[in-house]
Structure 1
């Protein structure tokens, strides 16, 4: 028997099985032990292939593809630390619900814990972070293909979100000419090969449970909080809240249009606190809230009822309110709980929000990250999409900008790390083919610098806007000694990204003011290529402006 040929047949069955669950994209890193999986994926006509030499970035590329497409994405890596490098993406997917299917090649059992090269303990390597895991045996014709297909289907039939890990040991030889070995084994699946359905299908629970007392609650004073939502969900939530006359406090990721902008500034105002004290029910859609003041109010509010609706399982409520955790599609839940027309019960919040927005406009005249954050809506590409990085930039945008309703916004706000942000943004662009603006800080860019290689393959204009404030200036908000803070927290690197752009053959601009930034963006949106635009700004200007505005708005 040709071990090489049978490995290939076994891998072919695996790849075909995952495509029956909606996989259209596969991300592949180089490696020898993963050869059976790589060659099977390469030969599959229904797959779009993506490659990257860095497994950590590859995992985030898959995360971005899954985030924007809404479909599961497969990842193929070789054995050893290549698998471990997927960990950050596995964690993020587990928190935000993107579907990843990790196909990790492994050494066979006799090569583990005996000093063999590139052999580590890969079973359950991701601990509790995947949604599910399956450790396959070494490929053998003694196990029928029906077992392999049904084992994978059993794993994926209940895959509602997060990563699943399928560990795939392969014995050598991995290379050689294909012969008839395993052909009959593979064809034992019969007519299944001509169909498009899984070998083993399972029904999924459907429908939304209607809250029987909703007609009574919708007559009360409510507040809607909108966290991370899709475009359609954001628009539906905004319309629903407006109909009810309930104030809507929308996160930058809510895509609701944030009808009460700059909430992170005005929420701590005494008048806002008094107004919101009258709330009887809070209904939160989506999680991953960004604003500090919103999180503080969310944690301290004491309504009669607190409902949280999200398709992801888990509590998702750091305030641990007594209430109802409703796992459901936001759109379906809204359809089952219609709003009735009522007058706004807290109109003074809109006045506060308008005054806060006026103060922001006056305070962001100098070129810096606060000005860029506030004017971001006017910098977006038409019919494009936005990817927000983490740390200070997303907080400034959340506090100072009013993003347009229904404009697609993506982020990695599950674990809120800075790893893999460029890679994730590249995946988002590949999945949609839209013009993309990605905004990250300089340390985030350095952390994922080799992902610039992924930006050489874009299908539409892509701008990576790097806000270079020389370090992790979000830590300037900490009450620490300035010398200690600079050395051990902010860690300024004193770098410029011009040479990084040149290294990967990307366009580069370094505008010195807002007019030059607009010009650079207008030029970038004309060509389907990637451009790095570096905004070199004051180190603490963004933090200083935020502090100033918080003080001003609190005195309104």
Structure 2
């Protein structure tokens, strides 16, 4: 029997099994040990294949594809440290709920721990971060194909969100013409090959349960917090809260339209927090809150009960409130818990929020990152989407902007790292084929610089705004030691990105006024492919504007 041919047959069963669980996109890095998986994926017409030479960027590309499509996405990498580079994306997916299937090629057992090249201990390499880890044996006809397919079906059904790690050892030879070796083994699955259903269907569904006392609670004074939601969920939550007459505090990722804008400013105001303290029930939809003042208020509030509704499992409440953790699809939950029309009970919050918004308008006349954050909606493409980076930029947008209801907003706010932001944005764009505005800081861009290669294949215009404030200025907001701040925290790199754009063949602009920025972004929407727009700004202007406005609004 030809080992290379049987490896291919074994891999073909693995890849075909994934198609039965909704996998359409597959991300592939180059490598020799992964050849059986790569060739099987290339031969399977159900897949849309994506490639990248950097496994860390590849993992985040898959993450973005999963965010944009709402579907599971598979990744193929070779053995060794290539596998370890998937760790950040696996961690993020576990926290934000995207489903990734990591197919990691491996050396067979006899080549582990004996000095063989590119051989490391890969089983359970990701510890507890994947929802399920499967260590497959070396391909052999002694194991029936029905074991392989049902094992994978069980693994795929056992994880609704997060990562599935499937470690796949292959013995050499890895190359050679495909012959009949293993054909009978493969054909033992019979008509399964012509169907579109899993071999083994595992039902572990959890019904969305109605809270029997909802009719009682909906007559109380309530507050709604909206965290990370989809565009459709955001609109539904906003309408639901408005009907109840409950104030809605919307995060930058809530897509609710933030009816009380600039919450991260006005939550520092005593009048606002005293009014909110009258709430008898707080309901939070979606996790991953961004704003510091919102997190502080959320931790300190003491309603009679605190409910948290999210499709992800786990507590998701670092403040450990007394109340209910409701694991459910948010749209389904809202349908079961109808809102009763009531007059608003906290009308004064609207005026407080308007005062905060006016303060932002007055404080952001000068060209810089604070103005960009406040006026970001003027740059959004029609029928497009927004990807927001981490660190300072997401906090400024959260505090200063009012994003339109139902407009898609994406970010990596699970572990909130700066690794893989360009590649994640590229994945979101590929999955949706929408024009995409992405905004991130200079260190974030440097961290994932080689993923600019992924933007060369954008299917719709992409504008990547790099806010170059020369370092990690988020640390300017923290009580870092002044003497060590620049060298050990902010770490200014004194670089610009024009040469990076040229290296990857991308369009580039460096505007120095708001009108020039608008013109550059508008040109980007009219130009195929990707455009890098670099804003070289004062290092501390954005952070200092946020600090001043928090102080000002808190005293209003």
- Fold conserved (TM > 0.5)? yes
What is the Cα deviation at residue 208 of structure 1?
A: 1.2
Q: Deviations over 1:281-338 (max 9, x none)?
A: 0000000000000000000000001000000000000111011000000000000000
Q: Deviations over 1:128-177 (max 9, x none)?
A: 00010100000000001100000000111122000000000000000011
Q: What is the rounded CA distance, in whole Å, between the counterparts of 2:382 and 2:246 in structure 1?
A: 31
What is the Cα deviation at residue 207 of structure 1?
A: 2.9
Matched, 1:297 2:297: yes
Structure 1 equivalent of residue 185 of structure 2: 185
Q: SS in structure 1 opposite 2:467?
A: strand
Structure 2 equivalent of residue 288 of structure 1: 288
Q: What is the rounded CA distance, in whole Å, between the counterparts of 1:277 and 1:406 in structure 2?
A: 29
Structure 2 equivalent of residue 347 of structure 1: 347
> In the TM superposition, what are the counterparts of 1:260-271 in structure 2 within 5 Å?
260-271=260-271
Matched, 1:61 2:61: yes
Mean Cα deviation higher: 25-34 or 526-535:
526-535
Q: What is the rounded CA distance, in whole Å, between the counterparts of 2:33 and 2:529 in structure 1?
A: 34
Structure 1 equivalent of residue 96 of structure 2: 96
Structure 2 equivalent of residue 159 of structure 1: 159
What is the Cα deviation at residue 479 of structure 1?
A: 2.0
Structure 2 equivalent of residue 431 of structure 1: 431
> In the TM superposition, what are the counterparts of 1:390-539 in structure 2 within 5 Å?
390-539=390-539
What is the Cα deviation at residue 482 of structure 1?
A: 2.7
What is the Cα deviation at residue 58 of structure 1?
A: 0.1
- Report if the CA contact (8 A) 2:102-2:164 is conserved: yes
What is the Cα deviation at residue 483 of structure 1?
A: 3.1
Q: What is the rounded CA distance, in whole Å, between the counterparts of 1:379 and 1:297 in structure 2?
A: 31
Q: SS in structure 2 opposite 1:198?
A: coil
What is the Cα deviation at residue 376 of structure 1?
A: 0.4
Q: What is the rounded CA distance, in whole Å, between the counterparts of 2:355 and 2:137 in structure 1?
A: 64
What is the Cα deviation at residue 206 of structure 1?
A: 4.6
Q: What is the rounded CA distance, in whole Å, between the counterparts of 1:548 and 1:205 in structure 2?
A: 49
Q: What is the rounded CA distance, in whole Å, between the counterparts of 1:381 and 1:2 in structure 2?
A: 54
> In the TM superposition, what are the counterparts of 1:190-205 in structure 2 within 5 Å?
190-205=190-205
- Report if the CA contact (8 A) 2:463-2:532 is conserved: yes
What is the Cα deviation at residue 552 of structure 1?
A: 1.2
Q: SS in structure 2 opposite 1:413?
A: coil
- Report if the CA contact (8 A) 2:132-2:158 is conserved: no
Q: What is the rounded CA distance, in whole Å, between the counterparts of 1:313 and 1:527 in structure 2?
A: 42
Q: What is the rounded CA distance, in whole Å, between the counterparts of 1:107 and 1:403 in structure 2?
A: 49
Q: Deviations over 1:339-364 (max 9, x none)?
A: 00000100000000000000100000
Q: Deviations over 1:403-430 (max 9, x none)?
A: 0000000000000000000000000000
- Report if the CA contact (8 A) 2:458-2:529 is conserved: yes
What is the Cα deviation at residue 478 of structure 1?
A: 1.9
Structure 2 equivalent of residue 388 of structure 1: 388
Q: What is the rounded CA distance, in whole Å, between the counterparts of 1:262 and 1:455 in structure 2?
A: 32
Q: SS in structure 1 opposite 2:201?
A: coil
> In the TM superposition, what are the counterparts of 1:239-254 in structure 2 within 5 Å?
239-254=239-254
Structure 2 equivalent of residue 5 of structure 1: 5
Q: What is the rounded CA distance, in whole Å, between the counterparts of 2:480 and 2:524 in structure 1?
A: 40
Q: Deviations over 1:262-282 (max 9, x none)?
A: 001011211001101101000
Find runs of 4+ consecutive structure 1 residues off by over 4 angstroms.
none
Consecutive unaligned residues in structure 2, runs of 5 or more? none
Matched, 1:24 2:50: no
